[in-house]
């Protein structure tokens, strides 16, 4: 697809890179630099001007920007924060003609794929929405593609909540495009992030976590349990089972992976593990099952040194349990994990039934980011990719056994 001369781009590269310890825009990546790799990708879709906003180390960054045929825009107030760079870039673009829309993103996102950029451009041409966001597993990320007539609103914005705050007025008319590119959520903040990006782009990275998501009834847990059967003795964590009465699902039950290897009389009584039960007036949630029983289980198993943890059907109302959520965060940061992530729609159905809609949706988005930022991969299971997903599961498990 030919680059659209009416689509421009603004790249923000003015920050201090304090957590990285080096100017991240100039770090080598994929045969060029972080900014070079990002701009090369943008050029394949955005045929209009590419503006690079500079600040810290401006001379060195602008020298490379010129070589990359990007337009440098120096922000002398970069110490005021990222939104000051947004304003500087938008002011410069607003003074130029023939722009229908523009990508806007920090230089921290060099792995955003050309395919993702094309999908956003295609959707913009169809809908002409004020803002078109990429979405991975239900979580929006970078870069938004912003219609040109939104620029005056951005320039008038007070700065509260940054760019997101400036664009909030257009939320009801904006659209999200589902993409299979987790890089829209994965920025470069630290040397660990940079090392991960280098290895992903040279195809030597082994994902630390593997999660399946998909529609209700697609067989996520069935596929998962098919492949973990021979690994259970070396796994901590939990699975979710369903209790049926008269052919109808009436309860959801946690099951320890290790206890599943024991005879029934050696397991924790089911009554202590039921976390959702249907009542006459709806579903009743028992948070103590996660906050007490499950937290104690995971803490004990983490101390025992299990190399892999099963986290089954996470991303629902249990995300509202702070102690449990904290334990999951520690596992993702310190161990290798796999499991099933509730699909966004499944999570919303459960949350709405429990009257926890907005809070649970936000918590699920935060969990998706945690999985991606700690080196995880989330695969959406379909009828068409079942065999491929199974092979990916097999390869992931083989790396855990090394």
Show me where the domains of the chain are located: 7-201, 209-400
Q: Which pLDDT tens digits describe the chain residue by residue (402 residues)?
A: 568 889 999 999 999 999 999 999 999 999 999 999 999 999 999 999 999 999 999 999 999 999 999 999 999 999 999 999 999 999 999 999 899 999 999 999 999 999 999 999 999 999 999 999 999 988 999 999 999 999 999 999 999 999 999 999 999 999 999 998 999 999 999 999 999 999 999 888 899 999 999 988 899 999 999 999 999 999 999 999 999 999 999 999 999 999 999 999 999 999 999 999 999 888 899 999 999 999 999 999 999 999 999 999 999 889 889 999 999 999 999 999 999 998 766 666 565 555 554 556 678 888 999 999 999 999 999 999 999 999 999 999 999 865
Helix axes 357-373, 322-334, angle to 10 degrees: 10
Task: Specify whether the CB–CB gap between 136 and 116 falls below 8 A.
Answer: no
- At residue 353, the pLDDT reads 56
Q: How large is the greatest C-alpha to C-alpha distance in the chain, in angstroms?
A: 75
**Beta bridge partner(s), residue 278:** 283
Backbone angles phi, psi at 348, to 5 degrees: -65, -40
Taking the alpha carbons of 51, 57, 59, 65 in that order, is the dihedral positive or negative?
negative
3-state secondary structure 68-129: CCCEEEECCCHHHCHHHHHHHHHHHHHCCCCCCEEEEEECCCCCCCHHHHHHHHHHHHHHCC
- State residue 75's pLDDT score: 97
Residue-level pLDDT at 239: 96
What distances in angstroms separate CA 184 from CA 117, 228, 372, one per listed residue? Answer: 10, 30, 10
Cβ–Cβ under 8 Å, residues 328 and 334 = no
Question: How far is the C-alpha of 127 from the C-alpha of 399, rounded, in Å?
Answer: 44
The CATH H-level superfamily of 209-400 is P-loop containing nucleotide triphosphate hydrolases (3.40.50.300)
CA–CA distance, 215 with 229 (Å, rounded to integer): 23
What pLDDT sits at residue 104? Answer: 98
Which fold, 7-201?
Spore Coat Polysaccharide Biosynthesis Protein SpsA; Chain A (3.90.550)
Question: Contact, 29 vs 35, CB < 8 A?
Answer: no
Which is nearest to 373 in space by CA: 137, 40, 171? 137
Q: Do the beta carbons of residue 120 and residue 146 sit within 8 Å?
A: no
């Amino acid at each position: 697809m030919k680059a659209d001369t009416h689509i421009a781009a603004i790249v923000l590269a003015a920050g201090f890179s304090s957590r990285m310890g080096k100017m991240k825009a100039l770090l080598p990546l994929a045969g060029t630099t972080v900014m070079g790799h990002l701009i090369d990708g943008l050029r394949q879709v955005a045929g209009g001007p590419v503006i690079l906003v500079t600040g810290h180390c401006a001379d060195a960054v602008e020298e490379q920007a010129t070589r990359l045929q990007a337009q440098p825009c120096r922000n002398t107030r970069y110490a005021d924060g990222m939104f000051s760079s947004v304003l500087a870039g938008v002011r410069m673009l607003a003074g130029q003609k023939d722009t229908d829309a523009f990508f806007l993103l920090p230089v921290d996102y060099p792995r955003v794929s050309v395919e993702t950029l094309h999908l956003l451009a295609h959707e913009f041409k169809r809908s002409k929405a004020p803002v078109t966001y990429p979405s991975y597993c239900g979580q929006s990320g970078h870069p938004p593609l912003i219609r040109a007539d939104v620029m005056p609103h951005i320039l008038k914005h007070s700065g509260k909540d940054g760019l997101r705050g400036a664009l909030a007025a257009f939320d009801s008319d904006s659209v999200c495009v589902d993409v299979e590119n987790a890089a829209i959520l994965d920025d470069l903040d630290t040397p660990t992030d940079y090392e991960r990006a280098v290895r992903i782009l040279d195809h030597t990275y082994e994902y630390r976590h593997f999660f399946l998501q998909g529609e209700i009834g697609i067989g996520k847990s069935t596929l998962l349990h098919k492949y973990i059967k021979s690994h259970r003795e070396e796994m901590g964590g939990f699975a979710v089972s369903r209790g049926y009465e008269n052919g109808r699902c009436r309860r959801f039950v946690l099951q320890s992976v290790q206890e599943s290897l024991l005879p029934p009389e050696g397991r924790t009584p089911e009554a202590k593990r039921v976390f959702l039960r249907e009542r006459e007036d709806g579903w009743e949630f028992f948070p103590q099952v996660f906050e007490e029983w499950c937290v104690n289980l995971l803490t004990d198993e983490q101390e025992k040194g299990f190399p892999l943890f099963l986290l089954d059907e996470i991303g629902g109302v249990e995300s509202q349990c702070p102690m449990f959520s904290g334990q999951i965060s520690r596992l993702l940061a310190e161990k290798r994990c796999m499991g099933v992530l509730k699909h966004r729609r499944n999570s919303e159905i459960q949350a709405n039934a429990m009257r926890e809609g907005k809070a649970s949706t936000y918590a699920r988005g935060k969990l998706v980011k945690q999985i991606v930022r700690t080196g995880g991969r989330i695969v959406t299971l379909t009828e068409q990719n079942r065999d491929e997903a199974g092979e990916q599961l097999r390869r992931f498990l083989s790396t855990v056994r090394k």
